Amino acid sequence: MATPLFSRPPGKRNRPDFVDLDTLAGMVSDGDRIAMGGFHFSRLPVALCAAVAKRGVKDLHYIAWGGSLGLEVLLEGNCIGKLGICFNSLDVFGLAPRFRAAVESGSIPMEDLTDTVLMEGQRAAQYGMDSLGFVAPLGSNLLDRTSMGNMASDPLSGRPIGIAEPIPLDCFLLHAQRADEDGNIEIQGARNLDLTAGFASRDILVTVEEIVPRGTFQQEGSPRAYILPRTFVRAISHVPFGAYPTSCLPYYPTDYRDLARVTSGETLDIQTPDQDRAAYLRKAANVRTSQITGSLLLTKRTDPEPDDAPATIDEVMVGWLANEYDNDSVCSVGSFTPLAFCSYLLAKKTHAPDLVLMGFNGGLVDVGERPMSLCLAEPLDFWSAPVHMGGDDSFHWYYQRGLITHEVVSAAQIDKHCNTNNFEVTSPSGKRIRLPGQGGMADVANMHQHFMLYLPRHSKLTLVEQVETISAARALFTDEERIRAGFQPGKIRLITNLCVFHFDEASRELELASIHPGITFDEVQENTGFTLRQAPTVGVTATPSSEQLHILRGEIDPLGMRRTEFVAGKERGPLLMSLIDAEESVVREL
């Protein structure tokens, strides 16, 4: 158990120390319970993690939503003794190899957490409570995989709820944009669970891009920034590019070119960008949607689809999904799901202009229309979103109130009952393969109005009779039970690269509803791990209209980012590099 939150050193309540990076890293001790701020490739405290690893700190109990490159740095330094996470990967670059090796070998004990166990456990620590209740992830096996949460009966209604134990932390490692001379910290952009974890920590250790004079934050009054009061901060270090090669907007975006280099090596060779690269990154960080058009990006693609070419399978899937949304839709995007993002943007551009789009784990709310992008996605959304918030805020304000209509996601395995598995699978050779985890899907599968899944590669390995373990599933099906729980009635759908499935409430099984053009029933059955049930009428999946194809190819996704979900292995790397080359060329020409 972490040290109680009140036991900070005397005289360190209201005046953070300004120290060098090595001194800051020295405040992390062997055996500490720690977490880090940021998420995916956004605002990770990379330099601080590297400094902690360099000091040889051991046996850290890492408890956080994710960690990505920062966690890989700590694992490479043999700093971690125990893990508790919701999700961890290298996003577009695939599984995190050091994390995967540690969990598959059993060398580091691992607990899979739900978002709610993590958030409410940390809130219990903040409030000094013995436990806090939360909406249980009904349908998932997730609470069987953690010691930090349990099922119970609500003392008033008798209905099943979850109970989280306190999760106090010793240290929270944070990279932020600025500190003022008094030690107040400015956080811009999507905050993920920074505040939940930070306020559950005894010590918040911060690296910043810039230190500004006293009174700057009061004078500027930035409506989209959160100011973390100095009372809660132990120490600060001025470390420009302290999150690199991940992002820290508005200073620099994620450097995907350098990430490709770093993540492909046997060791993590993290370097500060040179003068030319730094200048390019500053420019890219401040690109606005008015400067980036689909036609501009299209000039950089060597193999554009002609407008009169028939719809490809990925375009059939995007078009079908886009037609599911309307002006009342609230659509959320978590990890790397370009196919889903394309469909949201296509709907918003065509028939659903009032659709609300939430990006970056729900942290950037109501982002504007833009072309699909890899390197520029976060800057464009950062500048267009009128609201910047934390993932904990969006969870309580949007998800728990049942306001999210769609969050189209994929999974490594889906079974005939529409249960999903993103924990681990067995390869054809019998090897156990650790996957990223469920993220927050176990918690929100019932909260979404519509439970929408997709599989870009439909096979007997991905669509199975029964998943090996259930990471997320719907447990509230009928209109009556959903309304009783406070959620909107909705439907369950699965679209793959071969067909569309509906969910039959009576049998609680998937039914084949339509087959994509050019695909036969026998092909679908041959690639499915269970005997197909058929709807009363099995149709042909509608293809996008000529207008939709024109907009998708020329304005929404001119570089063809959606293709990244349909290629694997050796093909994926060159495709990613072609996207990076194209986007960088456009930025340099602006």
The pLDDT of residue 3 = 55
Tell me the pLDDT band of 50, cut-offs 50, 70 and 90: very high
pTM of the model: 0.95
Instruction: Tell me which DSSP letter residue 498 carries.
Output: S
The pLDDT of residue 1 = 53
Q: Which two tokens stand for residue 103?
A: 């969990």
User: Cα(160)–Cα(469) distance, rounded to whole angstroms?
Assistant: 21
Buried b (16+ CB within 10 A) or exposed e, 448-480: bbbbbbbbbbbeeebbbeebebbbbbbebbeee
Q: Confirm if 143 and 114 have CB atoms less than 8 A apart.
A: yes
The pLDDT of residue 271 = 95
**How confident is the model over 138-184, as pLDDT tens digits?**
888 888 888 898 989 988 988 889 999 999 999 999 999 999 999 99
The pLDDT of residue 335 = 75
pLDDT at residue 118 above 90?
Answer: yes
Tell me the pLDDT band of 4, cut-offs 50, 70 and 90: low
**How confident is the model over 255-273, as pLDDT tens digits?**
999 999 999 989 999 999 9
Classified as helix, coil or strand, 255 is coil
Q: What is the CA radius of gyration of the chain?
A: 23
Count of Cβ atoms closer than 10 Å to residue 486 Cβ: 11
Distances, alpha carbon 342 to alpha carbons 155, 473, 556, 558, in Å: 45, 24, 7, 11
- Please give the average per-residue pLDDT across 105-120, as a whole number: 94
Count of Cβ atoms closer than 10 Å to residue 554 Cβ: 18
CATH class of the 294-553 domain in this structure:
alpha beta
User: Cα(365)–Cα(358) distance, rounded to whole angstroms?
Assistant: 5
**How confident is the model over 381-423, as pLDDT tens digits?**
999 999 999 999 999 999 999 999 999 999 999 999 999 999 9
Q: Which two tokens stand for residue 101?
A: 């090796």
**Residues in CB range of 380: below 8 A, 6 or more apart:** 287, 288, 289, 292, 367, 368, 370, 373
Q: Which residue has the higher pLDDT, 485 or 248?
A: 248
The pLDDT of residue 429 = 85
User: Cα(252)–Cα(242) distance, rounded to whole angstroms?
Assistant: 11
Task: CATH 3.40.1080.10 in the chain: give the residue spans.
Answer: 17-238, 294-553
**How confident is the model over 361-388, as pLDDT tens digits?**
889 999 999 999 999 999 999 999 999 9
The pLDDT of residue 12 = 59
Fold of 17-238: Glutaconate Coenzyme A-transferase (3.40.1080)
Percentage of the chain lying above the pLDDT 90 cut: 84
User: Cα(584)–Cα(374) distance, rounded to whole angstroms?
Assistant: 10
User: Cα(420)–Cα(414) distance, rounded to whole angstroms?
Assistant: 5
**How confident is the model over 309-355, as pLDDT tens digits?**
999 999 999 999 999 999 999 999 977 789 999 999 999 999 999 99
The pLDDT of residue 587 = 95
Peptide bond into 245 cis (omega under 30): yes
User: Cα(495)–Cα(503) distance, rounded to whole angstroms?
Assistant: 11
Q: Which two tokens stand for residue 241?
A: 């590019």
- Please give the average per-residue pLDDT across 461-470, as a whole number: 95
The pLDDT of residue 14 = 83
Indicate the helix (H) or strand (E) that contains 345. helix 338-349
- Please give the average per-residue pLDDT across 280-294, as a whole number: 95
| pLDDT, averaged across the chain | 93
**Residues in CB range of 321: below 8 A, 6 or more apart:** 339, 340, 343, 408, 452, 454, 495
Half-sphere exposure of 538 (CA within 13 A, CB side): 18
The pLDDT of residue 10 = 55
Tell me the pLDDT band of 223, cut-offs 50, 70 and 90: confident
The pLDDT of residue 7 = 55
- Please give the average per-residue pLDDT across 69-97, as a whole number: 96
The pLDDT of residue 308 = 84
pLDDT at residue 15 above 90?
Answer: no
Tell me the pLDDT band of 5, cut-offs 50, 70 and 90: low
- Please give the average per-residue pLDDT across 103-127, as a whole number: 95
**How confident is the model over 53-73, as pLDDT tens digits?**
999 999 999 999 999 999 999
Percentage of the chain lying above the pLDDT 70 cut: 98
Count of Cβ atoms closer than 10 Å to residue 368 Cβ: 16
Long-range pairs, 496-501, Cβ under 8 A, ≥24: 496/454, 496/455, 496/456, 496/458, 496/463, 497/313, 497/314, 497/317, 497/455, 497/456, 497/457, 497/458, 497/566, 498/458, 498/523, 498/524, 498/527, 499/458, 499/524, 499/541, 500/320, 500/541
pLDDT at residue 2 above 60?
Answer: no
**How confident is the model over 501-558, as pLDDT tens digits?**
999 999 999 999 999 999 999 999 999 999 999 999 999 999 999 999 999 999 999 9
